[in-house]
Amino acid sequence: MVILRAIHIIFVYPLVILWTIISGFTGMIIAGIFQQPDLTLRFVPGKMWAPVILFLLGIRVKVTGKENANKKGPSIYVANHSSQIDIPVCVMSIPVNLNFIVKQELKKSPVVGWYVSATRQIFIDRSDKDAAMRSMNLAAERIANGRSVLAYAEGTRSKDGKVKIFRRGSFLIAERADIPITPIAIKGAFECLPPKSYFTRSGLVEITIGEPFRPSEVEYKTTEDLAEIARQRVIALRGEE
């Protein structure tokens, strides 16, 4: 175990960081110089960055339900979140150009912040309710115009791997334009890299893309009810009660 940790620290993690930097700058060049953010989203995250990262970490991925991905129109993909590796797993497995709603603080981060700015991701200021609402309106507008969004609806990583309560932000957007909601279930990522751990265990991560549904197709009273419907579908896709 000690030897494996040493290998990760000395060899694997520097390669992960280096490849992330290379991928980030590649994305910025394509999106910024050539003014092609959509081309960046199609190529860099899922085909260039994520496969190499997961290979370096020894993570294998099994994808089920790719036919449920909406390739012809926008959708809000809502997934459970229990590990840092959820991001490369999702961008590699979901066969559409994915956009993210990211916190405003990330904009100042070197490379990652520059990349998400160059690809015109949606920033949200959680400390300012008015600014957050404007960000949500912008997200709704962009999604209605054809951009799909991936949201980790719990808002933060689960500490025990179980699916926690889904926050209503993404579902407010879905309600406004009756945008399809596609549930995404991730299983195995917590075991490979739980929160507060810096040592990745090799293993299999299973991701299941569920059938999309529109808010108008289900019965609910509040946005929280809609969020709970999506949460229960994610739990069912994970094979849990």
154: left (phi over 0), alpha (psi -120 to 50) or beta: alpha
Q: Which two tokens stand for residue 4?
A: 């494996």
pLDDT in tens, the chain (241 residues): 556 666 666 788 899 999 999 999 999 888 877 777 788 888 999 999 999 999 999 999 999 999 999 877 889 999 999 999 999 999 999 999 888 877 777 777 887 888 888 888 877 776 767 777 777 777 777 787 788 999 999 988 999 999 999 998 889 889 888 999 999 999 999 999 988 877 888 899 999 999 999 999 999 999 999 999 999 999 999 997 6
Domains of the chain: 59-237 (3.40.1130.10)
